[in-house]
Amino acid sequence: MSPRPPRPPRRPRRPTRAAARPPSVDGDAGAEPPQDDVFQEAPAQETASRVAESGPAGAGPTEGDVVVPLETEMPRRSRRTAEEVFEDPGDAPPQRSSSRPVAGPPSESQDWHLDEDDDAEPLPFPEPEVVSTRRRRRRRLGWTIGLVGVLVAVVGVLYFSPLLTIHHIQVERNDLLTESRAQELLQPLYGRPLPQVGNAQVQELLAEEPVVDDVVVQGELPDTLTVEIIEHPPVAEVLDGDELQFYNEHGEVISTFADPEDPEADDHATPRISEEAALRDDAVFSTIVAVLGELPASAREAMDSATADSIDSVQLILDDGRTVVWGGAERGAEKAVVLEAILASEAEDFTEVDTIDISTPDTPVTR
């Protein structure tokens, strides 16, 4: 192990001299000196007297003392404000010339603000398309929501408003359904708000009457309900004892008259089915009314009666005495077209015969 080399001699410290702070001009010995120092010179006589007095207290200069007159005294600091220093323009520090303007408070000659009477307008900056589109969408959405809210409010007022309650009901196009019977069935609708009544509610009330096929309901402000009734057409009539019954194409009784000679019953030209044929067999009766239901109204008006011994032997008796052999219920639509054409024809081949057989509609036969 090698010996450690000797340490170099320490560098002697530099002697420091504590500088005593001279008292300020205003007598404040403890105040800190300002950043801007101004040095003042003291008179030579005052300096000499201070040096003479630097000896022991109360003793003057002796013979061995050397009195050195000082021309000037060490400069001392004086606290002065920036306003005092630069109060005289000659005392202000020189300004550095520079092409760049120095920031500072505006002078009176500078116009930093626009006058109120100045007509200058700000430059228009174009709005981005994205911002414009977004604003239009928000505006359109606001209008839509407002419109929907108004409509909902109006509908709510009309739907629940007691000002639109039903006080009058008008029944139209009712033929077999009497006015008194219709008013009796529609009685629960009185006093209900008009917007709450529709076809479904009216048809439900009239479902007890088989003559009603459909209804059309209209409201008339402020308190009137109009009901248009579409009835099943009667296709056959049966005299059961002293009552005259009307049947639809489904074999259902749609109207009954206590007096067979009732004028209202005469308004309907319906073929009559004998009581024996109607009561003997339900299948035969259903076939007869189904065949009559295939006929147009003009053809039924030319019929006097209908009869059948079986479901395949339906016969129709015309008002002039001619007999139409229909046969079964199959191909009923084609047979109806052929019969309508024969009834409209004035040819002697059809008018001067007793029997017209259309059981095969492609080749009608007369006898």
Cis peptide before 222 (omega within 30 of 0): yes
Alpha helices in the chain, H assignment, sequence order: 44-52, 82-85, 129-160, 179-185, 199-205, 263-266, 275-280, 282-294, 297-301, 332-344, 348-351
Cα gap 366→350, rounded to integer Å: 7
Confidence of residue 180 (pLDDT cuts 50, 70, 90): very high
Answer yes or no: is pLDDT of 58 > 70. no
For residue 37, what are its two tokens? 């120092």
Number of H helices, E strands in the chain: 11, 12
Cα gap 144→156, rounded to integer Å: 18
For residue 99, what are its two tokens? 């092409």
Calculate mean pLDDT across residues 172-178: 90
Percentage of the chain exceeding pLDDT 90:
29
Q: Are 183 and 171 contacting, i.e. CB atoms less than 8 angstroms apart?
A: yes
CATH 3.40.50 is the classification of domain 236-366: yes
Strand order in the sheet with 224-231: 168-172, 224-231, 212-220
Is pLDDT larger for residue 354 or for residue 7?
Answer: 354
Calculate mean pLDDT across residues 96-119: 51
Q: Are 289 and 303 contacting, i.e. CB atoms less than 8 angstroms apart?
A: no
Q: Are 317 and 304 contacting, i.e. CB atoms less than 8 angstroms apart?
A: yes
For residue 138, what are its two tokens? 């928000």
From the list 149, 152, 190, the residue with the least C-alpha distance to 168 is: 190
What's residue 268's pLDDT?
80
Cα gap 72→203, rounded to integer Å: 129
Percentage of the chain exceeding pLDDT 70:
64
Is pLDDT larger for residue 97 or for residue 274?
Answer: 274
* Range from 18-22, 62-66, 202-206, 211-215 carrying the lowest mean pLDDT: 18-22
* pTM for the full predicted model: 0.54
Strand order in the sheet with 243-247: 253-257, 243-247, 236-240, 272-273, 303-308, 314-318, 323-327, 355-357, 365-366
Instruction: Kindly list the domain boundaries of the chain, sorted by start residue.
Output: 162-231, 236-366
Q: pLDDT tens digits, residue range 63-81?
A: 555 554 544 455 555 555 5
What's residue 52's pLDDT?
44
Confidence of residue 304 (pLDDT cuts 50, 70, 90): very high
* Range from 15-29, 122-136, 242-256 carrying the lowest mean pLDDT: 15-29
What's residue 164's pLDDT?
80
User: What CATH superfamily classification does 162-231 receive?
Assistant: membrane protein fhac (3.10.20.310)
